[in-house]
Chains A and B, each alone.
Chain A
Amino acid sequence: MEPVERTELSILSEIGRISTSADDLHRKLQRIIEVVMRGIGKEGASVFLLDRSGKNVILEAAAGLNQEAVGKLTFPLGKGIAGWVAQQKVPLALADPYSDPRFQYVPETGIERFKSLVAAPIMDEDRCFGVIFVLSGQTWNATSSEVTVLTTTANQISGVIRNTLLFQDIEDRLARLASIYEISMALTSTLDLNQLLSLIARNTSSSLRAQGCTIHLLDLPAGDGENRDFRPKFIDDAVGGLDNLFGGRMLSSTIGEKRPLLVADTSQDIRLQDISGRHRVSIISVPLLFHDRVTGVITLYSAEHGQSFNDDDLQFLTTIASGAAVAVENAALFEREERLASDARIRAQEFSILYDVGTAMSATLNLDRLLRIILTAATMGGTGLGFNRAILLLTNERTNILQGMMGVGPTSWDEANQAWTEVAWKHKSLMEWIQTGELFASKDTAFNAIARSIRVRLEPGDSILAQTVLDKRAFNIIDAAADPRVRKDVLEMLKVNSFATVPLVAKGRAIGAILVDNLFTNRPITDHDIRFLTMFAHQAALAIDNAVIHSNMEAMNRDIRIIHEQLAQSEKMAALGTMMAEITHEIRNPLVSIGGFTRRLARKVTDPDAKKYIDIILSEVGRLERIIHDNLEYIKNVAPKFSRTPLNSVIEEVLLVYEDELRQRGIAIERELSPDAPSLDMDPQQMKQAVVNLVVNAMEAMEKGGTLTARTGPVAGSREAIMEIGDTGPGISPESMHNLFNPYYTTKVRGTGLGLAITHRIVKAHKGNIVFRNKETGGAVFAIRLPLPRE
């Protein structure tokens, strides 16, 4: 056997053994070139393989060369010896490659250690996988049989490569199938959109050995489908910059054509050349299609020096995308339902609050308590509406004014902290507060005082509060200082720049308003807050309306009861009067007989003892007659007969009658009758009776003499005239004061006790009043005030 043949056989059998080993392609190639190098008896060998694009050759394994160049050294097809051989698909033997024009020197390789080389294409039928080199340290003019050995070896290697590539391809496909399975499992296992997107991104990136991934999604449907945008939902940090550069272009193209898009090399692609610059990036962009609608786009980037994507990758991503589209849609739907469910939950909570508050409100018909409940509900967290402060105002239809009724909320930060800590600590519901009575404990806060001082005229344009009631609508004031509708004085009082007002509407009538703010937490009042507050206010308004009706009914009942009592009283008095009249009549006749005959007897009797007894009888008869007279006076209750009478004349006439008696009792009269004392509409007889009673009263108070003062005059600053009778007696004792005008009350030994009661009744019948006082100098003064006649 020829040495060459033996060499060839030994090499081929060695390669056969290597090809069935478990090594990967790189390792197999490394072992093969070492076998070839030794078999041929040279110092170096190497293998270049075409990359996936088929446009470059890359150094895959080397012996005798610098190992650092492996995986790095590349030549475009047709360039360098390797590129030329791969392109021409013919072997080449060069004794002096350095002088050959096709040679390209790359210092990093360490090629300068060699003098000659032989290269053969690794062919599989027509397809070229790469190039194998044998390098010689000595000048080597290779024989044709040596070249044949290398070519045969190359053919053998191509089988190894083909098998390995096939195996790798199967492995890749299996891996991708596994990946697709994994992704589809994941897609059905999660409904969290963000989690889902990151899963898709992670799996596709790793399966396709991409540098990173971005996912854009169409906005979730919000009402109509118009004007919806694709927004980035997922961006790998590694490719953020690339996405900024290429993303837009890829996106519009993918969405526009509804087709996957593959860019092998951005610098070579005419659609992206203008923006690519020096970047050499490979991109695949696949639409997420749901019911033939583009709902999103997945874009994968493979950066410079990375592997460029091919049609297989595109196919793979498209497969993933079709599953992902459904999963994303499901997740989006789920997210929307979640949001709806959460809305429903909030709504349910609100209804529960409204229900609680409603129950609480129905617990009382007392207006003051009701307002307290309403405002507490508005300011309570948890089971309430949770505003910081709230004021309730009610309209007064008579005066056309909106009046602050009550304010609940802290006045200062300290108070706020304290109050809220306390409330939070107690964990009480509104109903518990009401039941324990805690809610109604005295709360005369400064804020309540402020609230109660608010008065707003109900006229258009007067203020936002008036507008709330007049327009029956809510207002949410964000910047009160800049809002011309807000009255500055109210603003000054509340010291808040953002607040909201809602009307209290009951049965179509605006009966007031509620003002709320978040002075301390500064939480903005949302439209949703306003909607809820409006519902709350509606309920509150009905409760207030009920309480007001109830209170009116109570007042009416009270009035009816009073009238009833008065009626019963006057009926009783009338019956009493009739009876008294009968009795006095029956008593008076015998009295007249007793007294009349006793007087006659007195004229005939001379015995001093008998005279004394007769005097006693006469005096007692006189007293009885007086009692009868006074009783009849009090009972008969005649309506006054008015005539215009000078006030002074009434007093003058009474004094005239009593002048002598007063003088006899050692009582001086002091007249201070003002010439300005007016004429009044009065019943002169009754008024004289009233004054007589005062004069008699004064006289009897001054048993040891004294001074009676009579005074009249107009009352400054009042449409009244005054008439006074004063004495210098002992004055009125404190215990008497309350009973002075009560009928049958007397402190005197003699008297019926009806005098002052009669005077009081007469003065009342004249729409005047009577008061008394003790003078500092001693004695009492009774003053009658009477109204001036109407002009």
Chain B
Amino acid sequence: MKKILVVDDEENICSLYREELEEMGYEVTTVLDGSSAIAAIEKARYDLVTLDMRMKGMDGIETLRKLKEKDARLPIIISSAYEEYKNDFGSWASDAYIVKSADTAALRDTVKKILG
């Protein structure tokens, strides 16, 4: 079973993503900040990370860089309430950039595309 790490400082978002992704048949771990995310991938291997951009403590960009340092090939989907960074981060830093939406179709489609 493929493992997904959901990183978001909003507990409700974490719950929503977990439920949606588990329903799709993935094993989901959620953390609420960047340092917990790094600790998590040091402890276990993940197939995919969804990463919020604006978080308390270590923010998304910092977390993104550190995650890539640990594992350059780890696919990362940025999931942000901001639309305006899409062009900046969509290409170079991550594998995908989705704008958070009540309609989780974009999330599900993107995850499916990456993990198969």
Q: Looking across the interface, which residue of chain A has its beta carbon closest to that of B8?
A: A589
- Verify B100–A592 contact, CB threshold 8 A: yes
Inter-chain contact A589/B82, CB cutoff 8 Å: no
Query: Interface segment, A299-307, A508-516, A621-629, A763-771?
Result: A621-629
Q: Judge whether A581 and B16 touch: CB under 8 Å.
A: no
Binds A, one of B32-40, B58-66, B101-109: B101-109
Contact of A592 among B19, B81, B83 (CB under 8 A): B81
A598 touches B102 (CB 8 A): yes
Contacts of A590 in B (CB 8 A): 12
B: number of interface residues (CB 8 Å) = 16
| Contact assessment for B104 and A625 in the assembled complex, using a CB-CB cutoff below 8 Å | no
Whether A636 touches B102, Cβ cut-off 8 Å, given contacts A592-B16, A593-B13, is no
When C-beta atoms are compared, the residue in chain B nearest to A596 turns out to be B16
Q: Does A597 contact B (CB under 8 A)?
A: yes
Contact of A593 among B10, B20, B54, B82 (CB under 8 A): B10
Q: Measured between alpha carbons, how far is A622 from B102 in the docked complex, in Å?
A: 8
Across the interface, do B81 and A596 meet the contact criterion of CB distance under 8 Å?
no
Q: How far is the CA of A341 from the CA of B94 in the complex (A)?
A: 101
Q: Is the CB of B102 within 8 A of A595?
A: yes
Interface residues of A in 549-592 (CB under 8 A from B): 581, 584-585, 588-592
A593–B10 alpha-carbon span in the complex (Å): 9
Which residues in window 6-52 of B have CB below 8 A to A? Answer: 10, 12-13, 16, 19-20
Q: Are B103 and A588 within 8 A (Cβ)? A: no
Q: Tell me if B84 and A588 are in contact (CB < 8 A).
A: no
Q: Which B residues from 63 to 116 make CB contacts under 8 A with A?
A: 81-84, 100-104
Q: Which residue of chain A has its CB nearest to the CB of B17?
A: A596
User: Do A592 and B84 form a contact, CB below 8 Å, given A585-B54, A599-B104, A618-B102?
Assistant: no
Residue of B nearest to A593 (CB): B12
A790 interface residue per 8 A CB criterion: no
Known: A589-B10, A592-B13. A625 touches B102 (CB 8 A): yes
By beta carbon, the residue of chain B nearest A617 is: B102
User: Is the Cβ of B102 less than 8 Å from the Cβ of A600?
Assistant: no
Docked pose: A632 CA to B10 CA in angstroms: 22
Interface residues in A89-122 by Cβ distance below 8 A to B read none
Q: Which of B13, B19, B81, B82 is in CB contact (< 8 Å) with A600?
A: B19
With A585-B81, A588-B81, A589-B13 as known contacts, state yes or no: A595 contacts B54, CB within 8 Å. no
Check A594/B102 contact, CB under 8 A, given A585-B82, A629-B83. yes
Whether the pair A588, B100 counts as a contact (CB closer than 8 A) is yes
CA distance A508 to B54 in the complex (A): 68
- Known A592-B13, A595-B101, A596-B102; further 17 A-B contacts with Cβ < 8 A: A584-B81, A585-B81, A585-B82, A588-B81, A589-B10, A589-B12, A589-B100, A592-B81, A592-B102, A593-B12, A593-B16, A596-B13, A596-B16, A599-B104, A600-B20, A622-B103, A632-B83
Contacts A/B (CB < 8 Å), 18 sampled: A585-B82, A589-B12, A590-B12, A592-B16, A593-B12, A593-B16, A594-B102, A595-B102, A596-B16, A596-B104, A599-B102, A600-B16, A600-B20, A618-B102, A621-B102, A625-B101, A629-B83, A636-B83
